[in-house]
Chain A
């Protein structure tokens, strides 16, 4: 993918871009990504009376300053930074998910269009000997409905992740993918038809644990832990665009029953929105750990803002090391930074 701009990292052009993009977003006829269904007139001409106003722009500057994590279109993450609030109790997790499930039941049962930000590491650069390795990661806004084939590129090791927008918007078809491959870079196996899943918590839980019996090879996971596999499946289903209805409510109820799941309030996505991060961490060799999860927006919508995956390279020969998972949904890279706080010396 060619880079078609010459904006220096951290230059005022990036900060200006952040302000201007916020202005565009304010007058956008579309909702923010992941925050709800498209309005009925989406895709048609912009309604009259939505011209850019001074009030919109005035709010933009304040929002850009308050956001803090944005430096224009680039978002920089120092992976050594500790950036998360501590996880809280299981009771808090249950209470939050109860509310989320209740909200889901009230929402539309049919899958809605949603936008997912998908990121891929495009190149690694080092600005001189001894300097940190920087991963530049592009992100695409991908409209999806129904099932989403998640592409996981190769994990790469880096000290810093810089995100930026590629010059094209990639539209991926929403289609189930029966093809699987153990290699990163291909679609992951998924439930082919979400409508066949039970929507009562007990039945869904039984179904998911039965599915976990198929093993990590079938689901292309890297763990033998059944709870981890079930949580991973739930995350995959949620990221597929299940925006409403009984299935989403049931999924939240099942999450409550998976041992080892924790909640972190105040988790941030890459554009500064906060929500509740629901994660499952599996501890691996050499003191390393893998963490997967998803982030839910606050009440009243409890929308899935994105998912994350962070951990170490398990398929790279040699001692395990942490890496950036190229297609982890980038809203969650803030989490990824947080998980690095557990990185042992020398890794």
Chain B
């Protein structure tokens, strides 16, 4: 649902940003829950990812791939950056501390999400021994359910290159990478009974 001019608007229009955020924040937290098992870290990484989105939205080119692929590319970079830097460095540079925003309900909900993504996390760990470039494609396709084209966009490579790397990765990991079971992420909101729907007039 990106606008024709891409996502440049989300860097300076709070409403446009909110639309984008609401569309993708669930996917981003799940992305991190498939890789780390600490709710506080997931909150921090989610905050970091959207801060990075604001900073780089102007560079998004819709013709090169989907929003989600682009977003996952950012999320990967955020996670890689997290792993490269020390906790002290992170504290000094982190712009929005996501973990500070968590309350007990959030932690319980994120733990449930982490639990639901356990299989994906195992898969992610299982392919960690593959060469980086091949693993990156396989990770996005097998763990995150991106298409090869989306994975290519996320990684900034050509789709053909991604297909080759995916083929090699699958070949090397043959036998060890069963298809990921469907997510059992539980609904996080209590059941809602809709009493009535008020007609909303559209202009």
Q: A residues engaging B (CB < 8 A)? A: 1, 4-13, 15-17, 19-25, 27-30, 46, 50-52, 54, 57-58, 60-61, 73, 120-128, 133, 138, 141, 149, 151, 153-154, 156, 165, 167-170, 172-173, 185, 326
Cβ < 8 Å to A, chain B residues 26-67? 26, 29, 43, 46-47, 50-51, 54-55, 58
A125-B194, A169-B16 given. 14 additional CB < 8 A pairs? A4-B19, A16-B43, A21-B14, A24-B12, A28-B12, A46-B8, A57-B51, A57-B95, A121-B198, A125-B193, A153-B199, A153-B200, A167-B22, A185-B201
Contact A124 B196 (CB under 8 A): yes
Question: In chain B between 1 and 33, which residues have their CB closer than 8 angstroms to a CB of chain A?
Answer: 1, 8, 10-19, 21-23, 25-26, 29
Say yes or no: B189 contacts A5, CB within 8 Å: no
- Give the shortest distance, in Å, between A250 (CB) and chain B (any CB): 30
Task: Report the separation of the CA atoms of residues A68 and B16 in the bound assembly, to the nearest whole angstrom.
Answer: 23
B202 touches A154 (CB 8 A): no
* A185, B199: Cβ atoms closer than 8 Å: yes
Shortest CB–CB separation between residue A41 and chain B, in angstroms?
12
Docked Cα-Cα span, A169 to B55, in Å, equals 22
B23 & A4 in contact (Cβ 8 Å cutoff): yes
Q: Let me know if B190 is at the binding interface, CB within 8 A.
A: yes
Distance in angstroms from B92 CB to nearest chain A CB is: 11
Q: A15's contact among B1, B95, B101, B189, by CB below 8 Å, is which? A: B101
Question: What residues of chain B have their CB less than 8 Å away from a CB belonging to chain A?
Answer: 1, 8, 10-19, 21-23, 25-26, 29, 43, 46-47, 50-51, 54-55, 58, 95-98, 101-103, 105-106, 109, 188-203
Closest chain A CB from B15 CB (angstroms): 5
- Distance in angstroms between the alpha carbons of A63 and B76 in the assembled complex: 30
By beta carbon, the residue of chain B nearest A165 is B18
Chain B neighbourhood of A5, CB < 8 A: 22-23, 25-26
Contact A123 B193 (CB under 8 A): no
The one of B54, B188, B191 that contacts A23, using a Cβ cutoff of 8 Å? B54
| With contact pairs A125-B193, A126-B193, A127-B193 given, residues A50 and B12 touching in the complex (Cβ less than 8 Å) | yes
Residue of B nearest to A117 (CB): B15
> Is the Cβ of A141 less than 8 Å from the Cβ of B15?
yes
Ordered nearest first, which 3 A-B pairs have the shortest CB separation?
Answer: A5-B22, A57-B95, A12-B106
Taken together as a complex, chains A and B put the C-alpha atoms of A253 and B72 apart, in Å, by 57
Q: B23 to A167, Cβ gap below 8 A?
A: yes
By a CB distance below 8 angstroms, the chain A residues around B15 are 141, 165, 169
The CA of A23 and the CA of B103, in the complex, are separated in Å by 22
Task: Determine the chain B residues whose CB is within 8 A of the CB of A154 once the complex forms.
Answer: 198-199
A-B contact pairs, 23 of them (CB 8 A): A1-B200, A1-B202, A5-B25, A7-B26, A8-B109, A11-B106, A12-B103, A12-B106, A17-B21, A21-B14, A21-B18, A23-B54, A23-B96, A24-B12, A24-B14, A46-B11, A120-B198, A123-B194, A127-B192, A127-B193, A153-B200, A165-B19, A167-B1
B105 A11 Cβ-Cβ under 8 A: yes
Cα(A9)–Cα(B109), bound, Å:
12
Bound complex: CA of A168 vs CA of B2, how far in Å? 11
Interface centre among B1, B22, B106, B109 (most CB of A within 10 A): B22
Residues of the B chain whose Cβ atoms lie less than 8 Å from the Cβ of A58? 95
Closest chain A residue, CB of each to CB of B99:
A12
A23-B54, A185-B201 known; A125 and B195 CB under 8 Å?
Answer: yes
In the complex, A87 Cα to B123 Cα: how many Å?
64
Do A8 and B189 have beta carbons less than 8 Å apart?
Answer: yes
